[in-house]
């Protein structure tokens, strides 16, 4: 049976820290989580110019009851060994109230993530996380020697303040290289809570 | 990805060799004035390797993956074959190990022109990349392809002399070096990922590709047979050059090799790849890092490592019992694999593709055991002067036989690791150690080939263990269900 809750917590932590993170979160009361390997885009301008500095990250998806996120975040912070952030998506606080944070998700054909992040940064984004994905493909006739071909995709998550959303999205959608039909989709979600897991920050 | 984590990775892999050489320095074989160049060489090795790995991650690997998926999407078999061939050819020209090997061959048998040899090896590799790609797309069983071509290899090798035969297998080991492997693996994964085949077909491209050079060199040997023969030259005394000279010559060699590859990738960018602006810039930077990494790596190797390897081989085999030589060979063999960049790439991809079902360390350990035994065997062969072909026939024969029983995923991984295990660390440090032990250059050949054969057996044994375990697991579950 599927576990159903209204809230989704997305935590993005350094590679190899998910185990520790999940064991703390489990003690706080969750049943489990889903781990997705991801790539953090460099935050240092110098390293970015050199093309180096992308870091291996892991993304953890946890569905949970409302209120549990407080305990998880505080206990992870108390532990002090995990570097990363956590965002809570789900039912908005109160009707009509704008949330302070939003998450922009972009799903495009593989290979465009770096350019999208570059545009987003110029428009004020502080960082982004990239994962690999596979499209289901609408063209069911696309076969090569009898084997179906599936389009490879990249999924980019950008957390930003609500006021930034418009300018970020227009900066991304005006990218020249994305100017072809069927290249991908973009959407936003309300982030009800956004926390740094590192107690030093 | 990030340079610092690569630095940590390579440091942990190169450090053990340095520590052992240092221990030897204070016990059985004092290095004297060679110590400082060795330490400097080691440092350059670590920096070069890290830079190279960071570069392939953002340079060659994306190109290979993108090319693989673009080719699969174009749905044109002739185009795919043409590209596989051209890229395979160009990558081989750029591969530093091949140049080193060709020069060594030329010094043994002047009838063989090294430029012709390199081109032959590159043609052989290009052709077999095609066979490998075609196999991936059509889902043809890997084992039959391997058995078929290795039988041809055996037939050809019977007609050429031992020295050249060992070079055949060395050529195959050298070709699938640090530059070709990330590219071949990425291309294979790209094609199979976007054709949604089962995971078993992702691996094996490198394994098939590495047969090409064996055949190419065997044909060369047949054609030039009798013209000169293999001269039994003594191992050339290690020439000691200044640091600047070594660096410049490496810079030139690598640039000449990289040129064609770079041009082809540029052409591809504007015809097929169409990387967007930032990604393209990043890819170019990656290529630059790979290039600089190779130059620094090779400089470090030539500056300190080769000489020390040869010196250690010589001193220890002259002054101590063969038992010590064989024991050292075991240790060196096991450790050198850890320092081999391509092995890291391969084991990482194995873990990713099998979603962690096959643990990286397990593959690593099995490759290590295999290579350690291979290097020890090679020393025994040198010390007791046993015909090389026996090792090859028994080794390859056994591994071909095993393909009939091992799960096909493991067959692919095994034959891929074969080419991968014999990278720059073994063609330099171990080969020179062997040459030092034998006191003659020609006996030293064949070592790289043996290293390349050993994982074929060890990884397939791992596969057999897996298969038995899975059966037991299933049987246990079945019993529980019926009870």
Question: What percentage of chain A has pLDDT greater than the value 90?
Answer: 30
Would the CB atoms of A114 and B1 count as touching at under 8 Å? no
Residue A150, chain B, CB below 8 Å: the answer is yes
Would the CB atoms of A145 and B58 count as touching at under 8 Å? no
User: Min CA distance, A93 vs chain B (Å)?
Assistant: 38
Residue located via tokens 């596979």: A134
Give residue B99's pLDDT band: very low, low, confident or very high (50, 70, 90). confident
Question: What pLDDT was estimated at residue B420?
Answer: 72
Strands (DSSP E) contained in B289-444 are none
Question: What pLDDT was estimated at residue A44?
Answer: 76
Question: What pLDDT was estimated at residue A3?
Answer: 67
From A55, A118, A143, residue closest to B2, measured CB to CB: A55
A74 has a pLDDT exceeding 50? yes
Question: What pLDDT was estimated at residue A193?
Answer: 86
Residue in A19, A50, A114 to test binding to B, most B beta-carbons within 10 Å: A114
A107, A116 contact by CB (below 8 A): no
Question: What pLDDT was estimated at residue B231?
Answer: 43
B424, B218 contact by CB (below 8 A): no
pLDDT digits (tens, 9 = 90+) for A102-161: 999 999 988 899 899 999 999 988 889 999 887 776 555 455 555 555 677 899 999 999
Mean pLDDT of B259-286: 88
From A51, A117, A144, residue closest to B72, measured CB to CB: A144
Residue B209 structure tokens: 């590709």
Burial A174-183 (b: 16+ CB within 10 A, else e): ebebbeeeee
Question: What pLDDT was estimated at residue A7?
Answer: 86
CATH topology for A7-196 is Alpha-Beta Plaits (3.30.70)
B214 has a pLDDT exceeding 70? yes
Question: What pLDDT was estimated at residue B140?
Answer: 79
Residue A78, chain B, CB below 8 Å: the answer is no
Find the range with the poorest average confidence among A65-79, A131-145, A174-188, B446-460: A131-145
Residue B479, chain A, CB below 8 Å: the answer is no
Residue B194, chain A, CB below 8 Å: the answer is yes
Give residue B355's pLDDT band: very low, low, confident or very high (50, 70, 90). low
Residue B269 structure tokens: 């960018």
Tell me which chain A residues have a C-beta less than 8 angstroms from the C-beta of B193.
150, 152
What's the longest Cα–Cα distance across chain A?
56
Beta-ladder partners of A193: A88
From B2, B77, B275, residue closest to A53, measured CB to CB: B2
Give residue B473's pLDDT band: very low, low, confident or very high (50, 70, 90). low
Residues 337-356 of chain B whose Cβ lies under 8 A from any Cβ of chain A: 352
Give residue B238's pLDDT band: very low, low, confident or very high (50, 70, 90). very low
From A54, A114, A149, residue closest to B279, measured CB to CB: A114
Question: What pLDDT was estimated at residue A1?
Answer: 61
Identify the top-confidence range among A9-23, A79-93, B89-103: A9-23
Find the range with the poorest average confidence among A128-142, B135-149, B271-285, B426-440: A128-142
Predicted complex ipTM? 0.78
Domain map of chain A by residue range? 7-196
Give residue B204's pLDDT band: very low, low, confident or very high (50, 70, 90). confident
The rounded radius of gyration (Å) of the Cα atoms in chain B is 22
B478 has a pLDDT exceeding 50? no
Tell me which chain B residues have a C-beta less than 8 angstroms from the C-beta of A130.
none
Mean pLDDT of B9-13: 77
Residue A112 CA to residue A68 CA, distance in Å, equals 36
Find the range with the poorest average confidence among B279-288, B347-356, B426-435: B347-356
Residue B219 structure tokens: 């044909």
B185, B136 contact by CB (below 8 A): no
Tell me which chain A residues have a C-beta less than 8 angstroms from the C-beta of B186.
none
Tell me which chain A residues have a C-beta less than 8 angstroms from the C-beta of B1.
39, 54-56
Tell me which chain A residues have a C-beta less than 8 angstroms from the C-beta of B197.
147
Residue B281 CA to residue A40 CA, distance in Å, equals 18
Question: What pLDDT was estimated at residue B195?
Answer: 59
For residue A57, report the phi and psi dihedrals to the nearest 5 degrees: -130, 170
Residue in B81, B269, B279 to test binding to A, most A beta-carbons within 10 Å: B279
Residue located via tokens 């303040």: A161
The size of chain B, in residues, is 483
B444 has a pLDDT exceeding 90? no
From A51, A111, A148, residue closest to B285, measured CB to CB: A51
Would the CB atoms of A149 and B195 count as touching at under 8 Å? yes
In sign, the C-alpha dihedral spanning B391, B396, B399, B401 is negative
Question: What pLDDT was estimated at residue B176?
Answer: 72
pLDDT digits (tens, 9 = 90+) for B360-408: 788 888 888 888 998 898 888 888 878 878 888 888 889 889 888 888 8
Tell me which chain A residues have a C-beta less than 8 angstroms from the C-beta of B352.
37
Tell me which chain A residues have a C-beta less than 8 angstroms from the C-beta of B2.
47, 52-56
Residue B77, chain A, CB below 8 Å: the answer is yes
Question: What pLDDT was estimated at residue A94?
Answer: 57
Tell me which chain B residues have a C-beta less than 8 angstroms from the C-beta of A39.
1
Closest CA to A9 of A22, B329, A1: A22
Give residue B230's pLDDT band: very low, low, confident or very high (50, 70, 90). very low
User: Min CA distance, B60 vs chain A (Å)?
Assistant: 14
Query: What does DSSP say about strands A143-144 and A129-134: parallel, antiparallel, or unpaired?
Result: unpaired
pLDDT digits (tens, 9 = 90+) for B32-72: 778 888 888 888 888 988 888 888 888 887 887 788 777 77
Question: What pLDDT was estimated at residue B180?
Answer: 77
Question: What percentage of chain B has pLDDT greater than the value 70?
Answer: 85
Find the range with the poorest average confidence among B23-32, B283-292, B348-357: B348-357
Give residue A61's pLDDT band: very low, low, confident or very high (50, 70, 90). very high
Would the CB atoms of B275 and A150 count as touching at under 8 Å? no
């Amino acid at each position: 049976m599927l576990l159903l809750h209204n809230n989704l917590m997305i935590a993005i932590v350094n590679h190899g820290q998910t185990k520790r993170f999940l064991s703390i979160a489990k003690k706080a009361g969750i049943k489990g989580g889903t781990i997705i390997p991801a790539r953090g885009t460099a935050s240092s301008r110098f390293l970015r110019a050199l093309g180096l500095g992308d870091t291996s990250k892991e993304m953890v998806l946890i569905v949970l009851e409302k209120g549990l996120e407080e305990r998880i975040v505080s206990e992870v912070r108390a532990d002090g060994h995990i570097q990363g952030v956590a965002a809570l998506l789900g039912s908005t606080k109160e009707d009509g109230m704008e949330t302070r944070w939003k998450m922009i998700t972009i799903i495009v054909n593989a290979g465009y993530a770096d350019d999208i992040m570059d545009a987003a940064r110029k428009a004020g984004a502080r960082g982004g996380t990239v994962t690999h994905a596979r499209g289901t493909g609408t063209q069911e006739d696309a076969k090569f020697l009898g084997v179906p071909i599936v389009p490879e995709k990249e999924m980019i998550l950008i957390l930003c303040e609500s006021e930034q959303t418009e300018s970020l999205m227009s900066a991304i959608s005006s990218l020249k290289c994305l100017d072809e039909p069927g290249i991908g989709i973009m959407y936003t979600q309300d982030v009800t809570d956004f926390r740094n897991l590192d107690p030093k920050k | 990805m990030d340079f610092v984590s690569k630095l940590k990775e390579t440091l942990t892999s190169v450090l053990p060799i340095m520590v052992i050489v240092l221990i030897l320095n204070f016990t059985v074989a004092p290095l004297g004035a060679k110590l400082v160049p060795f330490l400097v060489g080691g440092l350059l090795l670590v920096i070069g390797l890290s830079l190279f790995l960071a570069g392939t991650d953002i340079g060659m690997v994306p190109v290979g993956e993108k090319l693989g998926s673009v080719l699969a999407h174009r749905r044109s078999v002739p185009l795919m074959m043409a590209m596989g061939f051209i890229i395979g050819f160009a990558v081989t020209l750029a591969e530093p190990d091949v140049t080193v090997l060709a020069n060594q061959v030329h010094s043994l048998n002047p009838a063989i022109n090294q430029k012709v040899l390199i081109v032959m090896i590159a043609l052989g590799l290009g052709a077999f990349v095609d066979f490998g790609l075609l196999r991936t797309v059509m889902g043809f069983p890997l084992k039959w392809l391997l058995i078929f071509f290795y039988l041809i290899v055996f037939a050809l090798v019977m007609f050429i002399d031992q020295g050249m035969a060992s070079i055949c297998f060395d050529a195959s080991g050298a070709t699938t070096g640090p530059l070709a492997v990330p590219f071949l693996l990425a291309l294979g994964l790209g094609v199979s990922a976007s054709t949604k085949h089962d995971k078993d077909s992702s691996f094996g491209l490198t394994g098939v590709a590495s047969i090409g050079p064996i055949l190419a060199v065997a044909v060369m040997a047949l054609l030039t047979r009798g013209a000169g023969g293999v001269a039994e030259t003594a191992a050339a005394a290690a020439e000691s050059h200044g640091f600047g000279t070594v660096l410049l010559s490496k810079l030139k060699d690598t640039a000449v090799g990289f040129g064609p590859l770079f041009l082809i990738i540029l052409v591809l960018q504007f015809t097929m790849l169409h990387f967007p602006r930032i990604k393209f810039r990043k890819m170019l930077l990656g290529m630059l890092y790979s290039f600089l990494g190779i130059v620094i790596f090779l400089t470090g190797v030539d500056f300190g490592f080769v000489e020390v390897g040869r010196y250690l081989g010589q001193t220890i085999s002259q002054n101590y019992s063969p038992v010590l030589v064989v024991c050292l060979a075991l240790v060196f063999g096991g450790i050198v694999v850890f320092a081999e960049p391509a092995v890291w790439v391969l084991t990482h991809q194995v873990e990713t593709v099998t979603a962690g079902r096959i643990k990286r360390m397990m593959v690593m350990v099995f490759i290590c055991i295999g290579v350690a035994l291979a290097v020890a065997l090679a020393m025994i062969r040198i010390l007791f002067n046993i015909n090389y072909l026996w090792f090859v026939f028994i080794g390859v024969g056994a591994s071909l036989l095993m393909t009939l029983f091992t799960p096909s995923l493991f067959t692919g991984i095994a034959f891929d690791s074969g080419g991968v295990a014999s990278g720059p660390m073994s063609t330099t440090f171990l080969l020179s150690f062997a040459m030092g032990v034998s006191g003659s250059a020609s006996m030293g050949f064949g070592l790289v080939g043996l290293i390349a054969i050993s994982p074929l057996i060890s990884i397939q044994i791992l596969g057999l263990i897996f298969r038995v375990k899975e059966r037991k697991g299933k049987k246990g579950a079945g019993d529980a269900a019926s009870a």
